[in-house]
Structure 1
Amino acid sequence: MLTHVISYFYPDLQSDEIKKFKLLSYTLFLIIGTYWLLRLLKNTLFLKVAFPESLGWLAHQGRLFQPTAKFWSPFVVLGLVLVYSKLIDIFKKHQLFYIICSFYALIFSSLAAILFFKEWYGVEAVGRTLLATTGWVSYFAIESFGSLVVALFWSFTNSITTSDSAKRGFPLIVAIAQLGAVAGSAVLVFSDSIGSLWPILALASVLVAAVIPMIRYFMATIPAHELKGNVVALKTEKKKEGFFEGFFSGFTLLVSRPYLLGVLVISTFYEAISQIVEYQMQAQATLSPLYVSDVAFTRFQGIYGVSINILSFVVALLGTSYVIKRFGLRRSLVIYPLAVALLILGFVIYFKLALPSATQLLWITFGMMVLIKGLGYAVNNPIKEMLYIPTSKDAKFKSKGWIDTFGSRFAKAGGAQVNNKLKDDLSELLVYGSFISLGLIGLWLVAAVYVGAKNHVLIKENKIIE
């Protein structure tokens, strides 16, 4: 039944590709569903649970700590990238899923146990230190999970897919993955009925663990000839390196190849921009009387996530393949940054001329973030992943690991520093933050034009970046 539906919406997929991309889609469904469940829960844990006033913290202490957490996040992830880079040299590509997913399943189940203890015995029994530590650990674990595991999935998928096959199959992967994101977000919408947060974290740990048998089944059922990507890139997969050499080789390759630096800009600048706008929305929501309790705030996060991912699913199902086929990779790369620039310009003009109320401002920033995130996941993400196909194994895994973990976190930290400087006056943050975002978009467009042209030459001449 599902195969017929896939064939209807994606008629260009070849018969032998359907099972491969369908199983990859299910895997990313689990990963993205877990990520969105945790991503939205992360804010509730950090802003509403970890620093209660009853234990001596200031009111809204979590909101005041959030820019600091964003700043330190890249440095925490740096250590994980060090380990990840070495694991790439030691283990086969699919075995990395077993190791990394087991690690995160253990962390999230431990956090669930602490919250269970808090639910039954109260915050005083847990204690100020352990509860605060739970907030910080959950924040960094969820931040790194969203980068590391998603980056691993796409590195794996890029390494077993050709450019032509990716154009046919990646939109399907993104569409089904967005259903996972909708499902993960929807769980939080019903947080009132669930009544507490520990079952949600427990569910997340189960979903992360479920990735392991999914990958095992994929490797057991997909023929070996369908697990080969770019032929030139395959020749680079036997290379082995020492511990620190392997760690820094991805970084060295990244900073010495303009193409990869351009991919870095395309992959991370929107993170800084969305960080600035999203902080405005989160700050307004935490101050709203409608979302005072942790459960009510969780429900708001759920509504936010569901809205983003429904939009992403619709666009991925009906629009992503059309955009890639109609405009090609080169022009598709500039569509998203232009759309973000128009949204930000419209927002600033409305804010200065219409003088909206606090409630109106909350829902305007909400709508803008839904569009920025939704279009990013459905259009920008699959297109930027295709950029890694004409690259070596080190670029696909190690350099991409740097970009999607440390690079992404560093971009968010940059956005957080803007928020930290301007957080005392939301009006200044709205105006100056928007102008900083427009400046970043200008650099982003330059990178998109260069990378699109270079990718076209690499594919045409059957060359790779190595």
Structure 2
Amino acid sequence: MAQLLKRMGLTLDLNKRDLFKIFLLSLAFFCVIGAYTILKELKDILFTQFVGSGYMGDVKFISMFMLVPATLLYAKLVDSMSRFKLLCVYSGLYGIVGLIIAYYLGDAQIGLPNAIASGDRWFGWFIYLFYEGAVPFVVSLFWSFSNSVTSPETAKKGYPLMIAASKLGGMFTAGLAWMLLTPTGIIGNIGLTDVAIHQLLLGLASVMLCIAPVIVYYLLKLGNQENLHGYEAVYKVEKKEEADGTDQTGMFSGLMIMFKQPYILAIFAMIFFYELLNVVISVQRLVILKSAAESFSGFSGAMFEQRLIIHVIGFFVSFFGTRILLKVLGERACLLLNPMFIGLLLVYFMVMRDAHAVLVVYTGLGVLNYAFASPLRESLYIPTVKDIKYKSKSWIDSFGMKISKSVSSLFIKSAKNVVPGTAMFNVVYISFFSTVIALWILVAWWLGRRYCKAIENNEVIGLQ
């Protein structure tokens, strides 16, 4: 029986030191994604309530340029701080400021009690722009830290477990939000006002962000230091650079490396293709949920309900699916499977073309991205130098993602007059989807081949 479970990938298959490390990283990631699940939805919900959905395009455009100086500052801090201190600074920043924002949500003038949406309600603008940095400066930073202390073999076995733990975190916070905001939820009638519920959720997310670095500190104090080297070839290069005094490379080095290294551009392309498809589907999803909601809380509850579904399915996919596929097929084949699975979802969307299909495909895209593609994509950073892990990655996860969303928005605007169900609609959308999937498969094939070659040759990617 034990042998059968091992072949199926249902055993942890990690030594005690790696298991201790993955357990604590998983616990910290539980907090990070639990918090991010709330912040991701509240960011859009609060902006819509304070400023209005008509300004959503404007704030997305502004956020692209706001993230540039923020990313440059982050790159500067990478050169002057240890990995752990950097994690503490950004987790603490979003945690403490989040508690302040939660308090002022109850203010009669600038908070939720003022139900009049207006373009000059700067509190709404600040909330959206501030939390736009949660991905590159919290979630992405946590992955950068994990990639720097984890070997490729441990990542193959342990990253799906970390993703599964993050899904539990998302299930916890999304489920709590859904139960609080939905009248039919288990604890939906406990006497809290809409304002108090949103304050409670934002406060919970902020506290969870503050807890994450405490768990990482415990790992650094009690973990085996040799086991925290990660990819040994990269560790040796970094120690040599520190000894030579060449480890500080400047604010723009990550951006320059991204354009010079085809490997990093290929990782960017993976995210770019996903965001192109995700934005097209998510815009229609927001319209469907907003039109079906009877109140502000009803809209919030529907958003969190679907996020809960994504996390529940994602947990089972990451724990039972991703681990087994990685164990049996390896990273190279799994990188190819991701766009193929998404292609099947898009075929379903084009065949059905109704509200139910939009919600199913949006859910499927979220599950595949977070539960299947994410551990694969993050593993690709392990054999890279520090500048790529931290600086190039931050550009990809901030400004790069905005570029892909902007391109997708251009497609939506250009195709908005195409009537669904017509021959022209089929031609436009099938051509768009097919082109993206075909390019994605080509990039995935090359990227998987390059990664496997680097690991086999004990190579460090990104050396000058």
Shorter-chain TM-score range: 0.7 to 0.9
Q: Distance in 2 between matches of 1:305 and 1:98?
A: 27
Structure 1 residues 126-176: Cα deviation after superposition (integer angstroms, max 9, x where no partner): 99566x322222222222202321111111111111111111111111111
Q: 1:105 is matched with which residue: 89, 95, 102?
A: 95
- For 1:20 and 1:242, how far apart are their aligned partners in 2? 26
Match of 1:439 among 435, 441, 444: 435
The equivalent of 1:252 in structure 2 is 256
Return the alpha-carbon distance in structure 1 between the equivalents of residues 361 and 119 of structure 2: 37
Q: CA deviation at 1:188?
A: 2.0
Deviations 1:10-56, CA, capped at 9 Å, x for gaps? 33111221111000001111000100111122222122x113xxxxx
Amino acid of the structure 1 residue aligned with 2:102: A
Query: Which residue in 2 is equivalent to 1:331?
Result: 333
Kept in 1, the 8 Å contact 2:106–2:112? The answer is no
In the alignment, the residues of structure 1 paired with residue 26 and residue 67 of structure 2 have an alpha-carbon distance, to the nearest angstrom, of 26
| Aligned ranges 1:265-344 → 2 under 5 Å | 265-288=269-292, 291-344=293-346
Equivalent position of 2:386 in the other structure: 393
Could you tell me how far apart the structure 1 residues matched to 2:146 and 2:235 are?
Answer: 13
In structure 2, list runs of 5 or more residues that go unmatched. 182-187
The answer to whether the 8 A contact 2:55-2:119 is kept is no
Q: Quote the offset at 1:105 in angstroms.
A: 1.7
Could you say if the C-alpha distance between residues 284 and 129 of structure 1 is closer, same or farther in structure 2, counting changes exceeding 3 Å?
closer
Distance 1:295 1:333, change over 3 A: same
Q: How does 1:230-249 map to 2 (within 5 A)?
A: 230-237=231-238, 238=241, 246-249=250-253
d(CA) in 2 for partners of 1:365 and 1:326? 32
Structure 1: distance between partners of 2:419 and 2:131: 27
**Preserved contact between residue 281 and residue 362 of structure 2 (Cα < 8 Å):** yes
Q: Which residue of 2 aligns with 1:82?
A: 72
Deviations 1:238-266 (A, max 9, x none): 456799x5221111111111111111111
In structure 2, do the counterparts of structure 1 residues 368 and 129 end up closer, same or farther at CA, with 3 Å as the change threshold? closer
Structure 2 CA distance for partners of 1:424 and 1:149, relative to 1, 3 Å: farther
| 2:148 is equivalent to residue 162 of structure 1 | no
Q: State the Cα distance separating 1:434 from its structure 2 match.
A: 5.8
Deviations 1:394-437 (A, max 9, x none): 11111111112221222223223333444577739975456423
Match of 2:409 among 407, 410, 416: 416
| Corresponding residue for residue 170 of structure 2 | 181
Give per-residue Cα distances to partners, 1:331-352, cap 9 Å, x unaligned: 100111111112112211222x
Q: List aligned pairs for 1:30-179, cutoff 5 A.
A: 30-47=31-48, 49-51=49-51, 61-62=52-53, 64-118=54-108, 123-124=113-114, 128=118, 132-179=121-168
Q: Provide the C-alpha distance between the structure 1 equivalents of 2:61 and 2:294, rounded to a whole number of angstroms.
A: 26
In the aligned structure 1, how far is the partner of 2:203 from the partner of 2:297? 17
For 1:333 and 1:170, locate their aligned partners in 2 and report how far apart those are by CA, in whole Å. Answer: 15
Cα distance in structure 2, aligned partners of 1:315 and 1:127: 40
Matches within 5 A, 1:182-201: 182-192=171-181, 193=188, 194-196=192-194, 197-201=198-202
The structural deviation recorded for 1:292 is 3.3
* Contact persistence 2:335–2:373 (CA under 8 A): yes
What amino acid is the match of 2:378?
A: E
Q: How many residues align?
A: 437
- Return the alpha-carbon distance in structure 2 between the equivalents of residues 112 and 457 of structure 1: 48
Match of 1:58 in 2: none
Residue 83 of structure 2: SS of its match in structure 1?
coil
Structure 2 counterpart of 1:195, which letter?
T
Report if aligned partners of 1:10, 1:172 keep a CA contact under 8 Å in 2.
no
From the superposition, tell whether residues 446 and 459 of structure 1 become closer, same or farther in structure 2 (CA, over 3 Å): same
8 Å Cα contact 1:191-1:298 kept in structure 2: no
Question: Which of 451, 454, 460 in structure 2 is aligned with 1:458?
Answer: 454
TM-score by length of 1: 0.87
Deviation, 1:279, is 0.7
| Alignment match, 1:204 | 205
**Structure 2 vs 1, CA of residues 50 and 421 (structure 1 numbering), >3 Å: closer, same or farther?**
farther
Q: How far off is 1:271 after superposition? A: 1.7
Query: Matches of 1:444 and 1:253 in 2, distance apart?
Result: 22
- Shifted more, 73-82 versus 443-452: the winner is 73-82
Measured in 1, the distance between the counterparts of 2:109 and 2:438 equals 48
Distance in 2, Cα, partners of 1:408 & 1:127: 28
Higher helix share: 1
Give the AA of the match of 1:154. W
What code does the residue aligned with 1:407 have?
Answer: G
* Matched letter for residue 408 of structure 2: G
RMSD (CA atoms): 2.6
| Equivalent AA in structure 2 for residue 227 of structure 1 | L
Instruction: Give 2:311's aligned amino acid.
Output: N
**Contact 2:160–2:319, Cα closer than 8 Å, also in 1:** yes
Q: Is the CA contact 2:348–2:357 (under 8 Å) kept in the aligned structure 1? A: no
> Percent same amino acid at aligned positions?
27
Distance 1:261 1:125, change over 3 A: closer
Paired residues of 1:390 and 1:459 also in contact (CA < 8 A): yes
